Structure 1
Amino acid sequence: MTHYTLRPPVVASPSERSFWLQDAGAAPVTQPLAGDATADVAIIGGGYTGLWTALRLKEQEPELRVTILEADFCGSGASGRNGGQVHSWFAEIDLLTAVVGQAEALQLCRATADAIDELEELQNSRTIDMDLRLDGWLWTASSRAQEGAWQKALTMTQALGENRFTLLGADEIARRTGSRASYMGIAETKAGTVQPAKLAVGLRQLALSRGVIIHEKTPVTAIEPGPTCILRTPQGSLRAGRVVLAANAWLASVPELLRYMYVVESEIVATEPVPEILQRIGWTGGESICDAQAHVLYYQRTPKGRVIFGRGSGKIAYGDRIGPSFNRSTEQGANNRRELARVYPELRAAKIEHDWSGPIDCTAEHLPVFDHLAGQPNIFFGIGFNGTGIAQTPVAGRILASLVLGKNDRWSQSGLVGLSKRTPLPPEPVRYFGAKLVRKAIRLRNDAEIENRSVNPVVRYISELKPGR
């Protein structure tokens, strides 16, 4: 009989938690699962994906018994560690089109735009205080190699009559970011920033208010499948007719999923509050900014004048071995500190008060995938958010809810459903050592291109072996 063993997440110590989680403060933790319990639907993971799925299920069937099992506390994983950037899928419409076709790609992009409207309504109605600021998302270039990185998305959206982006020049970028490091790019108007941990806490509270049962400090160690699945935890078990796996990078411990996903580390730093400096250089808004380098650079300023600066350039996991170093980089944000000084020389002397990291679940297509496990029609999953989830997980929740409820609708029939349609990755150890080689080449190429230097042909060739674009 098939039996799934899950590797419990390595919980971050309080000092290793993200600035966001520390800023949001400690919320009361629900009781761990003790003894035997039952549910109609069990969700493993209390981050954005799990919480939105629970909310979508309750919207459609309020009497459904939904239970979330969270290894630490809701939002303690990727949902509370990310860069806090809110933007739609229109920036990835070319990637979506390659997977689902143009018609559905447009529908999915519009769905994420609707999700941003939903977040705005949650904020304006005071349902969730998430510090949402829709001042725009900027996708910029600070070197010749980065110029036009956005061209496919821009051309496709314009051809479809979706004028989501505006072109930016050096003066406009400097006016909105206080930096002249980037000199051209585009902006998505209805986008911006959020305090991601506050959003997770708010979604948790909303789920509880709608009757979702949440057991925190309850890692699931094993799943025994069947018409009624049994989820084993350290102090009890939960029986459920349907199960949703929503534990992002930690789902690498399921061999079937590991074949299609890889786990990388993202590193972020937060400065001390420097509102006077930011006021002086003219950075006063809530825009989110992405530099179009290969090791994507993303940053924002908080309402109180901290600078949040992140890069997706961290280590690679060997298989499902996501150790303690994924909670805080051994480099302690050294690359981010260097890039911060390049983009904002005025902040060279600013103290870095927080540095943290976290694992990101990625697929070759750089898009999430949804399905049920092979031979297990009642165990569903969503993986591969690739570090982009604030406006995307509300859509993921709709897809997973339709799959769980057995509906035949646009969500269950989405082209994002179907693991076998995706690109499998090489087995270990080829995957790990190959990825390390490619990562090193990308870093060398990136460092050269930022300074507009020529790239060694061998380095360029190896760097282009990475999955996806």
Structure 2
Amino acid sequence: MSAPSYWLHTLGPVTPRPPLAGDRDADVAVVGGGYTGLWTAYYLSRLAPHLSIAVLEAEYCGFGASGRNGGWASGLFPVSEEKLTRRYGPERASAMHAALAGAVDEVGRAAAAEGIDCDYAKGGTITLARTPAQLKRAQSAKGFIGAGEASAICGANDVLGGIYSPDCAALHPAKLVRGLAAAVERRGVAIHEGTRVRRIARGLVETDHGTVKAGTVVRALEGYTARLAGHRRNLAPVYSLMIATEPLSAAEWDRIGLRRRETFSDERHMIIYGQRTADDRLAFGGRGAPYHFGSRIEPGYDRVPAVFDNLRDTLTEMFGIRPEIAYRWGGPLGIPRDWMPSVGLADGIAWAGGYVGDGVAAANLAGRTLADLISGTKSDLTTLPWVGHRSRRWEPEPIRWLGINAALHATNLRDALERPRV
């Protein structure tokens, strides 16, 4: 498979847009052609159509996490509402989570308005509790449901309860990002693919095909931020890997459920995530791949056979099936030092990211927020807690490598200790 994910493979070969043809000027230069950059360009072009906007993408739109993720447009945020409340107060914490929940609907609304058929299905999400320790955690959470109700949604083995939230939609991420790129172009935004950005500064973007002078520069690189000069320690690129099965039979789906295409996970510490695709596959992923020294990002890191085998074994353990695996892939996501995503604009440079893997809906919210900030529009979005937040930088190597990988091993150990002994 030449495409870097099942999602991209289903869309066929990519015909890249032409790269930047030498130096140019723009009002706004957006660095990164994924969800964050494209949503920013989309909403800004609607809000301020007089602005000239250029999107600069090293590969092609959707090459990164936007074309490889689990297809969850969710209201999840990596910082709990309790922590947000302690730091920002109950009103602002509640506003943050309400805005993310609203972003789930906005993704569907905008896709429909632009004629983007991205297999959007808002069935919600369920987090299963399948051990006594997991059940104890789940029982204190908002949206807790009992074993019978949870099993009726997702027919996994050993279900003791679960947490259900309506604020999630399953979708085909590559269809969304490719459709969004086309919608942005229709609004007059220039997209330059095959154009790697080397350095950004106030009013300036240096690429391998020329220099763009712009009044505002938007950094929207997420897991690839570490490749940008001077930004290696801003976000740690940590890999998440996925598999997709061959289509399952009607009998298997009768037992598994997910009839409204609810997304699913469980209460283990090492994150797993899955969805029923529109063509009746299980697309399933999880963390566990190592962090690479120096925040390196390489194509070979997308494939870790031991992690793929573990993902397949987890599906077998959860559902009592041994599915044929049709696709295997992975990619880096961006993790800030305090796990707090952020959006901001200062001294002509805007940024958004650090979604810790929950970026499909969050990037939409970030794009709308950046559009308001850049255009000078005052709104409820520009007062949300993540606006202007600055995470402290990750430690230098080798401390960063030792710390992140030690945390991964500790997370696996915690899950092992919570498994019932037979």
TM-score by length of 2: 0.92
Residue of 339, 354, 367 corresponding to 1:366 = 339
- Once the 2 structures are TM-superposed, how far is the Cα of residue 174 of structure 1 from its aligned partner? 2.2
- Once the 2 structures are TM-superposed, how far is the Cα of residue 171 of structure 1 from its aligned partner? 2.2
Aligned counterparts of 1:199 and 1:151: Cα–Cα separation in 2: 35
1:246 is matched by which residue type in structure 2?
A: A
Residue of 255, 264, 286 corresponding to 2:238 = 264
- Once the 2 structures are TM-superposed, how far is the Cα of residue 15 of structure 1 from its aligned partner? 2.7
- Confirm or deny that 1:452 pairs with 2:420: yes
Residue of 31, 47, 53 corresponding to 1:60 = 47
Local SS of the residue matching 1:139: strand
Distance 1:207 1:100, change over 3 A: farther
Residue of 278, 281, 287 corresponding to 1:306 = 281
Asked if 1 retains the 8 angstrom alpha-carbon contact of 2:270 and 2:412, the reply is yes
- Once the 2 structures are TM-superposed, how far is the Cα of residue 148 of structure 1 from its aligned partner? 4.3
Distance 1:123 1:66, change over 3 A: closer
- Once the 2 structures are TM-superposed, how far is the Cα of residue 379 of structure 1 from its aligned partner? 1.6
Asked if 1 retains the 8 angstrom alpha-carbon contact of 2:273 and 2:286, the reply is yes
Asked if 2 retains the 8 angstrom alpha-carbon contact of 1:332 and 1:356, the reply is no
Distance 1:337 1:430, change over 3 A: same
Local SS of the residue matching 1:203: helix
Distance 1:388 1:90, change over 3 A: closer
Matching residue of 1:21 = 8
Aligned counterparts of 1:453 and 1:423: Cα–Cα separation in 2: 41
Matching residue of 2:247 = 273
Aligned counterparts of 2:179 and 2:220: Cα–Cα separation in 1: 18
- Confirm or deny that 1:322 pairs with 2:297: yes
CA displacement, residues 369-390 of structure 1 (integer Å, 9 cap, x when unaligned): 2335xxx711221121100012
Instruction: Give the number of aligned pairs.
Output: 420
Aligned counterparts of 2:229 and 2:387: Cα–Cα separation in 1: 18
Aligned counterparts of 1:409 and 1:86: Cα–Cα separation in 2: 23
- Confirm or deny that 1:352 pairs with 2:340: no
- Confirm or deny that 1:141 pairs with 2:129: yes
Matching residue of 1:130 = 118
Asked if 2 retains the 8 angstrom alpha-carbon contact of 1:364 and 1:423, the reply is yes
Distance 1:76 1:251, change over 3 A: same
Matching residue of 1:236 = 210
Aligned counterparts of 2:118 and 2:225: Cα–Cα separation in 1: 27
- Once the 2 structures are TM-superposed, how far is the Cα of residue 147 of structure 1 from its aligned partner? 2.1
Asked if 1 retains the 8 angstrom alpha-carbon contact of 2:96 and 2:384, the reply is no
RMSD: 2.4
Matching residue of 1:433 = 402
Q: How does 1:6-155 map to 2 (within 5 A)?
A: 15=2, 17-89=4-76, 92-125=80-113, 127-150=115-138, 154=142
Local SS of the residue matching 1:187: strand
Distance 1:274 1:211, change over 3 A: same
- Once the 2 structures are TM-superposed, how far is the Cα of residue 186 of structure 1 from its aligned partner? 1.6
Residue of 388, 395, 400 corresponding to 1:418 = 388
Distance 1:438 1:119, change over 3 A: closer
Aligned counterparts of 2:140 and 2:380: Cα–Cα separation in 1: 26
Local SS of the residue matching 2:359: coil
Identity %: 34
Aligned counterparts of 1:437 and 1:120: Cα–Cα separation in 2: 39
Asked if 1 retains the 8 angstrom alpha-carbon contact of 2:239 and 2:291, the reply is yes
CA displacement, residues 165-207 of structure 1 (integer Å, 9 cap, x when unaligned): 3x32222222222323432112112423111111111111111
Aligned counterparts of 1:48 and 1:312: Cα–Cα separation in 2: 21
- Once the 2 structures are TM-superposed, how far is the Cα of residue 409 of structure 1 from its aligned partner? 4.3
Asked if 1 retains the 8 angstrom alpha-carbon contact of 2:75 and 2:361, the reply is yes
1:35 is matched by which residue type in structure 2?
A: G
1:270 is matched by which residue type in structure 2?
A: A
- Once the 2 structures are TM-superposed, how far is the Cα of residue 337 of structure 1 from its aligned partner? 1.2
TM-score by length of 1: 0.83
Residue of 164, 182, 185 corresponding to 1:205 = 182
Query: What are structure 1's unaligned runs of at least 5 residues?
Result: 1-13, 155-164, 455-469
Aligned counterparts of 1:215 and 1:433: Cα–Cα separation in 2: 38
Local SS of the residue matching 2:127: strand
- Once the 2 structures are TM-superposed, how far is the Cα of residue 395 of structure 1 from its aligned partner? 1.1
Which range moves more in the overlay, 406-415 or 96-105?
406-415
2:276 is matched by which residue type in structure 1?
A: R
Distance 1:41 1:124, change over 3 A: closer
Which range moves more in the overlay, 109-118 or 286-295?
109-118
CA displacement, residues 42-96 of structure 1 (integer Å, 9 cap, x when unaligned): 0011111001111121121011111101111111100111111122147842343
